[in-house]
Amino acid sequence: MISSANGISISEYEVTNIERLGFWLYVDDTEYFVSFDRFPAFKNAPVGQILNVKRLDPSQFNWPDLDIDVDIESLSAPDKYPLEYK
């Protein structure tokens, strides 16, 4: 019997390194730096909560313990997503 895959194909992702200024999120063969300056809600979070990341769809990530959602485009093109509304 031949089975076909259901749903969206979602590739690998993980937090690969946490350092003083932020952490690295590896997604689909690319690493993105998540700066604590740009995303201050992560700054005082315990390591376990930063490592607990879920992929909601191909471009959306969620940290359920912290109630934070991040779109990959905000990491790859941060100038398009200012920290303050003008």
pLDDT at 58 over 90: yes
Q: Would you say 57 and 84 are in contact if contact means Cβ atoms under 8 Å apart?
A: no
pLDDT attached to residue 59:
93
Q: Which 3 state secondary structure label does DSSP give 76?
A: helix
Tokens (6 digits) for 33: 């730096």
Q: Is the pLDDT reported for residue 49 higher than 70?
A: yes
Give 85's pLDDT tier (boundaries 50, 70, 90): low
Q: Is the pLDDT of residue 75 over 80?
A: yes
pTM for this prediction: 0.80
- Tell how far CA 16 is from the center of its chain: 11
